[in-house]
Amino acid sequence: MPLLHFHLLEGRTPEQIRGILDSAHEAMLEAFQVPRRDRYQIVTEHKPSHMIVEDTGLDIPRTQSMVLLQMFSRPRGADSVSEFYRLLTNYLERDCGILPSDVMVSVVENGDAHWSFGHGRAQFLTGELPLPAES
């Protein structure tokens, strides 16, 4: 149930975008062991003048293939999140030709009360959805 929000520069084809989404989903499935249909992904495309992602002094080169991913999730644990970073960059490079240096991820953690999947209810709190095991 992580919500993945991708920020991309304009210019990719629908097939290229779908490849990014599919690669990220596979990394999420493997790293967090969530159900396959637990898929919530949003893409926002930006004009180059509207998205600046520099290297924080780490001397990381960026190209027009840059992917900035914001992940909103329950706490997953440092090991699982690190594994997600590793798998994500591996799969994006293998499947989409996106270099690991062009992938930046920010994780925003929240709790069970912060998720409603519909009907105006917090399904983790009402028991409609089982509480996921901590990763």
C-alpha count within 13 angstroms, C-beta hemisphere, residue 82: 3
CA distance 61 to 78: 25
Residue 43 parent element (H or E):
strand 40-46
Catalytic residue status for 2:
yes
CA distance 124 to 120: 12
Residue 8 parent element (H or E):
strand 3-9
| Catalytic positions, written as ranges | 2
